[in-house]
Amino acid sequence: MTEVCARTPGVRQKRLMQSIARAFNGHLTQHRKILLNLILQLKVAPETGDFTGDINALTPLGAQIASALFQFAATEQVPLVLSLMTATPETLVGWCKTLGGSKMIESFLDSKSGPELKLKLIKKFAGHLATIACDKYGSHTVDCCWKHSSMEQKEKIAGKKQKGKKKTE
């Protein structure tokens, strides 16, 4: 359903995003920052209290749903983007090393979100690019980061890749 809504912009996207947030209790103030994690794990947060699940885990189906949600209009994916921006660099690196996680991050980078948000996410990978580039799934994420980077960021990425290449030799 999310993939169909991604192809047909309009009111349906907004309703579906709201429904998904409500289904996972991600609409509650205390859980807004972890909405993406809830979707990735396909877990419902408790209405009261804190979420106690593994914040770094993800399921293939959850990653596929999140990827489709990132293809929504920029205004409709705001809750998910805000949640993505709260992820720690270590969590992002872990996600990049999985098929679903890397595709989900690539989906965000290829989305209609503003370039400043994409650059903010790319900056979170600083210091981890060599590790990500050496992974079979993460290397695709680094390529996508390259595609969406400014010239200054590309120079930094190239420098990190070169250092990573020396480490692996």
Read off the pLDDT of residues 54-112 as tens digits, 9 standing for 90 and up. Answer: 767 889 999 999 999 999 988 889 989 999 999 899 999 999 999 999 999 999 999 99
**95 and 15 in a common domain:** no
**7 and 65 in a common domain:** yes
Distance CA 31, CA 23 (A): 12
**78 and 93 in a common domain:** no
What's the pTM value of the predicted model, to 2 decimals? 0.83
**31 and 10 in a common domain:** yes
Distance CA 116, CA 78 (A): 14
Distance CA 76, CA 104 (A): 17
**98 and 80 in a common domain:** no
Distance CA 110, CA 160 (A): 22
Residue range of the domain that includes 27: 1-86
**99 and 62 in a common domain:** no
